[in-house]
Structure formats: structure tokens, C-alpha cells
Structure 1
Amino acid sequence: MEEKENMSREQGNEPKHQPPAKRYIRLKPFSFLMLVFGLVLVSAGITFFVLTTGEDKVVEVVSPQKPLERKEFQKLYDAYDELKTNYYDEIDEKAIIDGAINGMIDALGDPYSDYLNEQEAERLIESISSSFEGIGAEIQEWNGYIKVVSPIKKSPAEKAGLLPNDIITAVDGKSIQGLSSSEAVLLIRGEKGSTVTLSIRRGESPETFDVKIVRDVIPLETVYPEMLENGIAHIHITNFADSTYEELLTAIHEMSAEGMKGLILDVRQNPGGTLNAALAISDLFVEKGKNLFQYVGKDGKPNIYTAEDGEKLTLPVAVVIDDGSASASEIVAAALKESANIPLIGLKTFGKGTVQTPMDLSDGSNLKLTTAKWLTPNGNWIHKQGIAPDIEVPYPPYAMLPYLDPSVELKEGMLSPQVKVAEDMLTATGYDAGEIDGLYDAQTKKAVQALQVDLSVEVTGILSEETTFGLLDKLRTKIQEEDPQLMKAKEVLLEKIQQ
């Protein structure tokens, strides 16, 4: 789901095993009449009891006017009756029922299990279609807050500067503390062209800042290939959808036609997706018969899934990961590391080792429950631990700078944290802003003027909206061009190719 709760698209049924189809009984006319007659007798009030042995169980078959009851729900029924009878105002029965279900889910203490009412369930279905409208960020509930797992590549969220682990404290000025990720999604999403303001807390700072984001159509392309120098291909997978495996195969064939000698598989800031897509992609790189992962359901017994026959990629491969690589990304990273001896480069991954299953309810609402945990090929559970890279390569400091708000005009004489951020960005992109102290002095103004000349905008020395966006674009380009993790992966592959 956009603003997608992480794992909202996780296909939790045991991988590659579909539930049996529902069976229906065809009744002959005579049988149908007898069935109707039987129902008439029941509706007339005939009641009987069937006693079962063991645990003193009693199953009661009653008239349609008297619902079957379960003892464990008696307290819930009593509370509902008290509300309906004695609460001073009219109650919203649907809201009360939804709240009761939400309460049961919340009591699990599992941020990945959720109840989605009809409207939220529709959003879930939309989020796995070819596109949707919103800001393009994966989120999850975390300690009562909503945390960004990862912005989607080329989305408004990415362009606005949202980063993994940012905490969203409010939407359009309304606090969302305590909301489920599904409830937060309904506030964050909206029509193309509309604006939403998110209040963000980043890192250890207790301060928040506002980010205005214009919503747009978010296409669900998931694979982005490019050919680098020396025959090294770079393929970035942004999430794992049903189409991702075929997209990846197409990209690999395209890169092979261009002379690919080595492949960098990039799952940074990839929050996950469907389990079967992760397994199919892992299978491309792992020798037949070797473990892909282990699936542990309610019975606690691991089911081990192994690589099968099929197309295999045998040229040198490296995988780049970071703290935004979660769930399905971690399944792939673990499989390639432990069963194919493929190096992982970058930062420790997010650490999500559970699988969710969406289950439709009769009224169109949905339960998304954690139904299993998964283990790496060697039997390691990485939940809340993450997967450590073989070669750790941090991001440069300028890649993790706080947000610079384009709507705030900065000019000479101002002293503020935003000025300090601007000075950091100017310095990182090659403009001499002088001492980085948060004071917009003459040297800062001179650096902004040089930037405005390069951007071909009016030279005022004032950091206003147009200039700020230009500065952010320059910083983003620098991060992409001087990507230290990608550079290290190229270095590792070159060594392998030359061996």
C-alpha cells in the first residue's frame, strides 16, 4: 500500500502453495425442496443439541433468530449491550465493531498485522495495481508512530527529500501518533495535483520540520537497468511486485545484448513486496538444490525451499543494500549471500523476518495478519537484526542532511538551522558558503548568487523556492554520481572479471 504499509503486498500464503479452491454442492430439485422444508422447521423453533466428548464442549443448533455464541466473546457482547443501552448518545455501530477488531489486532503488539475497513481494503487493492495516486512512500507503524521505510524511486516523496527512518508526526497539522499505518495512508494519499504537508522528525533531533509534497500518479515500475562502464550493468529493483521477475528477466536480456560482463543488483531503499517474486528472483542466482529460505508457520516446523531448474545467471554479481532494504529484499540478499557466495555491499538491512497474509472478510474489509516467520538459507532469523554487509560502505554525510524547505525564504542577516542546512548543501555542491554556522552572511549570499548564475535564474542572493529546488537537484545529482556504495560494487566486480 502506498505510503504502503511495509508488507501490505506480502503474499503470506506459504509460497508456491495455493489454498484449495472452494467446492460447491449441486442440489437436485427434490433435495432442494427437502432443504427448504428443513429450514422451515428450524425457523419454527425446533432446537436440538449435540453433545461432544472431551473438554465438555456443547454445540447448539438454534433458530436463525438466536445467533450461535462462543463463551470467550460473552464479555464482548456484554460490553456492546451496555454501550448500546446506557451510553448517553447514539453510537456508531460500525465504528464500534471496527474498533473492537482493531483492538484485538493492536493487542498482538505486532506492527505488521492490521485490520483494514472497506475503504482501506480498497486502497490495498489499488496499491498493487499498475499505478496509484499519492506521494510514493512505504511506511509502517513503529512504537506508536508512523515511520518511513523508503520513498519510491522517482516519486514526489523522494524528490521532496524524505529518507528511510523519518518519523511522520502529523499530516496537514493533524497528529497521527497512535494511528495504524492503514489509517495514516488514508490521510497521506490523495488525488494527483493536491498538496499534503507532513511534519517530520529525523534522526535524534526532537525538532520537527514540515515537508510540502504535491501528490502525483505513482507508476509501479519496479526494475531500472543501466549499463555502466567496463561491461558492468546496474539494475535497481525498487520493490517486489508480481511483475518484477519478468521485468528483471527483460532487463538482464537487454544488458546481456549490450555486453554485460558483471551485474550490480541494487535493492537499496527497497521495502519488500511479494514473497514469490523474491523467491523467483533468488532462484536466478542460486544453484539448483541449494537453499533459498526457510518458511516457519504456526506449527514451528521450518519448510525449506530450494532452487529449481531454470534460467540462471552465472556471471559475477554484487548486491548493494542499505537500511531501507527490508523483507523481500532481505530474502534475496540472504539467499545470494549464503547460497551463492555473492558479496553484499553497503549498510545493514532493515530487519523484517515475518510474512503477512491479507484475508478478506465478508463485508469487503480485510485482516492483514502475520502468519509466519522466515529464516535465511542457513536458518538465521534476521528480524529486528538485519543482515550485515560483507563490505560496509556508509553514505557520505551530505546524503543524510536535514530537509531544506523550499517554501521558506532565506536571506542575508538570518540565523537559523535552515540556513546551516543550506550552507552544508552549498558547500557539498561546490559553492563556497564560508563558515557553516547557520548565519546567512555576505559569503553565503555570494555562494547563492553563483548558484543562481549556474541555474540561469534571477540573481538576487536570496535562497527562495526556485533556487532551493535547483540546489536540491544539484545535491541529488551529486549523490547519484558519487555513490560510494555503487563505486565499491564496481570495484569488486572488476576484480572478479579480471581474474
Structure 2
Amino acid sequence: MAEQSPFAFLRLRLPLWVVSALLVIVLAGGLGVGLLVGFLANRSPVACPESPEVCEEFAVFWEAWELSRSRFVDPEAANPEVMIAGAITGMVDSLGDQGHTRFLTASEAEAWDTSLSGSFEGIGAYIDVRDGQTMIVAPIEGSPAEQAGILPGDAILAVDGDPTTDWSIDLLRTRVRGPKGTTVTLLLQRGGLPEPFEVAVVRDQVVVPSVSWYLLPEDVALVRLSSFDGNSGRQMREALLAAREQGARAVILDLRNNPGGLLDQAVEVASQFLPAGTVVLQEEDRQGRRTSRTTRSGGVALDLPLFVLINTNSASSSEIVSGAFQSAERGMLIGETTFGTGTVLTPYRLSDGSRLLLGTQQWLTPDGALIRGQGITPDEEVRLPFDVIPLRPTDLENLSLDEIMNSDDLQLVRALKLATETVGTR
């Protein structure tokens, strides 16, 4: 049964093993799982949903299955449950929507649900697989990962001594997360350092406030949005109201290293800056039919000058919001071209508790531009060296204006200069 709320996430994964292209066709409707389970239970399988020709050709899959189960050198490795998950994973990866459409086992689905709540147990870092490399996108502020000195862009070479070669994002997440008080050891490779190094991180309860803010000199509010979870819209509204009460006359919205999240929260966040009825995105289904999502009334920052920071790790809902601002000519985008995620996921619960996150629609900017594989281009490009960590609101509390303007965070420096010039002319 499909859940009706669509999601948008930045996730890149690799197949556990590649299956025949025929598997893509037969399993696409979800009934392939029934075929596999029926075979293993020695029962009559679910009727093949495809044409007789395709159903007959599907015998090739069973040949490969039987040979793998009966002749692979390590019989314990030929685990039916793992092989089924691998088959489905290979199928959905072959659809070409790497980063979004994916299969989650029952345990992975449970962890995925937990991640949307804004609280979980683990090291506290956004992780990903990009170009086949497992990596740290960004540590969460105040998390065990940050306290251990882990930085954005660190490549994860091994987890507890096991090489991460060909790992999927969900396998990586499962291995890195764990109960509070337990330790996980990561082998990391950092740009600029000649040798990998190990970091032992003690897991803890991680609470993720998605919004933090600080009132900069010249009454410019820096508002950082780290993800689009279930409370992001409410937290954004509260932060903006508090900033206005303290005299904010402009806003710098920091979406750097934001991997995305819930689509409805993207609309909520955009609604704080755009008039009611403004198109935030277009959703296009497989028939080419398009529907628009628009902002709601009640925005609390409609009149404040807006400057938006983006980078290559800004993805999914971050791109939706950035694209909406750009199309409406609301504010200025500063930084680097975003990641380029472009499908809207619908989660389907499968009979064994697993989940199929399927890209049933693709999203376009209000102007109709396709973002998948292209990203959002900033209005002004400002690049940061790979070893420069963007400043966060909590980093600015003890810095003077001169110290901020002379910092290595050139993107923030440029945004603050433009914002200061703007409020000075009002």
C-alpha cells in the first residue's frame, strides 16, 4: 500500500549485485518478490504479470539463482534473504535514478523512519555514496562525529575494519549507526593528507534541530537549515519571528550541505519567504502530466531581503527551495551549483516490512527546468576550497564583524557584504 506523502532525499547507492535486465521488467510491479518467496517456500508462485514472452525469458533469472544457490563456493553467503534484497536492489538501481529510488529491508526501513523524526542514536553525521565512494557529507552540529574531529568530505574507507567498497548508502547507514554508548571505528581519508587515519566514535543520542540562527552585525540574520525533517517549517517560522523581534532587516539562508528531506517541508519553508500562491515546483508524472505545488499564506519574511547560500552538497528539497526563489526572483543565490536530485519519491510498504522508495514523479522548477543531473546554478558563483568548513551560527557568537569578513568562508562573506549594502540603502 502506498503512503501518500511524497519525499525527496539525497541518496546515492550502488547495486549489491547486477541482475539480468529481464528482472527489471518482471519485478517492476513488486510481484517479483512474491515469485521469489513462492519458489523458496515450494509453493506455486504468483502469476507472472508480464507477457508470455517475457515470462518465458525470465527463466534465465531462475537459472542464475539456482546455480548461485547450489554451486557458489561459500554456501553461507548464498543466503536467500540477502539474495532477494540484492535482486530487488539491482532492479531498482538499473532504473537510473541513483540517489533516490531504492529498496530498503525491513530494518533499513525502520531506521529510515527514525531519521525523519529528527532524533536517532549514532555518530551524528550525514553520509552518502558518491561516484562509488562512501563519504561524510557533513557532521551534525554538536554530534559525536563533530566532537571526534570528522569533517565534511572525509572519505570512509572502512567501518570497524571492513572495507566499504561497493557499499550502498543503506548498508553504510546500518553499519555506522548503533546503540548509544557503543563505539564504531572509521578509517578515513582526508583531502590534503597523505595517509588514511582511524577515528573511534562513541555513539550517542543525536537530536537534530534543523534550524539554527544568529543575528550578525548590521542586523542581518544568518539562518541555517541543515535538513528538511518533520519540524523544519515550524522551526524556520519560529527562527524568523525571533530574528525579526531582535531587529533583523535581512536574511542569509544557509542551505549548504543540506541533503534534503520531506517535500511538504520544502513548501513550508518557501512559504515563509514567498507570497501565497507562488509556484514552488512542478511535479511531472510518467504520462507527462504536470501539477504545481504553491506556497501557503502566513509567511513571516516576505519583505526581508534574502540571500541564499548553496553548494554541491545542497540537494533535493534544498534545490526545490533554491529553484523556487530563483524563478520568483526572490533573493540571490550565492555559492556553487547544487547536486542535481530530481525525482519525487513515493514509499511503498511491502508485505515483509521492507520498503520500496520509488520515483513516481520528477520535479521541475516553476519555470519548467529539469534539475535531475544538472542542479541549480547560483546567481553568483563563489567557490570554497575543499578544506574550508562553512561557518555556522554558533561559530559566530564570539567573532567581530572584521573577523567574520576576514574569514575563509568566502560564500558567507560575500552574502554578508551584499546584505549589509542592501540594508544600508533602505
Per the TM superposition, whether the score is higher than 0.5 is yes
> What is residue 323 of structure 1 aligned with on the other side?
312
| Equivalent residue letter for 1:326 | A
Look up the SS of the partner of 1:304 in the other structure.
strand
- For the pair 1:355 / 2:344, whether they are aligned, the reply is yes
| Equivalent residue letter for 2:106 | E
Deviation of the 1:350 alpha carbon: 2.2
Query: Could you give the per-residue CA deviations for residues 364-390 of structure 1, whole angstroms, max 9, x where no partner exists?
Result: 111122222211222222333332322
Instruction: Give the Cα separation in 2 of the matches to 1:223 and 1:480.
Output: 23
> What is residue 221 of structure 1 aligned with on the other side?
209
1:69 aligns with one of 47, 54, 67 = 47
- For the pair 1:265 / 2:253, whether they are aligned, the reply is yes
With 86-95 and 353-362 compared, the bigger mean Cα shift is at 86-95
Q: 1:262 to 1:100 in 2, by over 3 A?
A: same
Relative contact order, CA 8 A, sep 6+: which one is greater? Answer: 2
Instruction: Give the Cα separation in 1 of the matches to 2:286 and 2:132.
Output: 26
Residue 150 of structure 1 contacts residue 271 of structure 1 at CA under 8 Å; is this kept in 2?
A: no
Q: Identity of counterpart residues, as a percentage? A: 37
| Equivalent residue letter for 2:376 | I
Alignment of 1:245-324 (within 5 A): 245-313=233-301, 314-324=303-313
Look up the SS of the partner of 2:137 in the other structure.
strand
Instruction: Give the Cα separation in 1 of the matches to 2:139 and 2:299.
Output: 31
- For the pair 1:178 / 2:166, whether they are aligned, the reply is yes
1:380 aligns with one of 369, 382, 385 = 369
Query: Could you give the per-residue CA deviations for residues 133-181 of structure 1, whole angstroms, max 9, x where no partner exists?
Result: 1122222333333233333233233344444444322112211111211
Residue 342 of structure 2 contacts residue 363 of structure 2 at CA under 8 Å; is this kept in 1?
A: yes
> What is residue 485 of structure 1 aligned with on the other side?
411
- For the pair 1:141 / 2:129, whether they are aligned, the reply is yes
Instruction: Give the Cα separation in 2 of the matches to 1:138 and 1:152.
Output: 7
Alignment of 1:9-88 (within 5 A): 12=6, 66-70=44-48, 71=52, 72=54, 74-75=58-59, 76-77=61-62, 79-80=64-65
Deviation of the 1:337 alpha carbon: 1.9
| RMSD, aligned α-carbons | 3.2
- For the pair 1:128 / 2:119, whether they are aligned, the reply is no
Instruction: Give the Cα separation in 2 of the matches to 1:130 and 1:484.
Output: 30
Q: 1:144 to 1:268 in 2, by over 3 A?
A: closer
Residue 241 of structure 2 contacts residue 300 of structure 2 at CA under 8 Å; is this kept in 1?
A: no
- Flag structure 1 segments of 5+ consecutive residues without an equivalent: 1-9, 15-63, 402-473
Residue 237 of structure 2 contacts residue 300 of structure 2 at CA under 8 Å; is this kept in 1?
A: no
With 71-80 and 268-277 compared, the bigger mean Cα shift is at 71-80
Q: State TM-score, norm by structure 1.
A: 0.66
Deviation of the 1:272 alpha carbon: 0.7
Alignment of 1:182-197 (within 5 A): 182-197=170-185
| Equivalent residue letter for 2:411 | Q
| Equivalent residue letter for 2:235 | E
Residue 111 of structure 1 contacts residue 142 of structure 1 at CA under 8 Å; is this kept in 2?
A: no
With 205-214 and 293-302 compared, the bigger mean Cα shift is at 205-214
Deviation of the 1:308 alpha carbon: 4.0
1:98 aligns with one of 60, 77, 85 = 85
Q: State TM-score, norm by structure 2.
A: 0.76
Whose radius of gyration is greater, 1 or 2?
1
> What is residue 434 of structure 1 aligned with on the other side?
none
| Equivalent residue letter for 2:98 | P
| Equivalent residue letter for 1:484 | L
Query: Could you give the per-residue CA deviations for residues 441-466 of structure 1, whole angstroms, max 9, x where no partner exists?
Result: xxxxxxxxxxxxxxxxxxxxxxxxxx
Alignment of 1:440-479 (within 5 A): none
Look up the SS of the partner of 1:252 in the other structure.
helix
With 152-161 and 74-83 compared, the bigger mean Cα shift is at 74-83
With 483-492 and 159-168 compared, the bigger mean Cα shift is at 159-168
> How many equivalent residue pairs?
367
Instruction: Give the Cα separation in 1 of the matches to 2:205 and 2:423.
Output: 41
- For the pair 1:495 / 2:418, whether they are aligned, the reply is no
Residue 282 of structure 1 contacts residue 335 of structure 1 at CA under 8 Å; is this kept in 2?
A: yes
Residue 286 of structure 1 contacts residue 312 of structure 1 at CA under 8 Å; is this kept in 2?
A: no
With 301-310 and 250-259 compared, the bigger mean Cα shift is at 301-310
Instruction: Give the Cα separation in 2 of the matches to 1:146 and 1:11.
Output: 29
| Equivalent residue letter for 1:295 | E
Query: Could you give the per-residue CA deviations for residues 418-445 of structure 1, whole angstroms, max 9, x where no partner exists?
Result: xxxxxxxxxxxxxxxxxxxxxxxxxxxx
2:381 aligns with one of 389, 392, 399 = 392
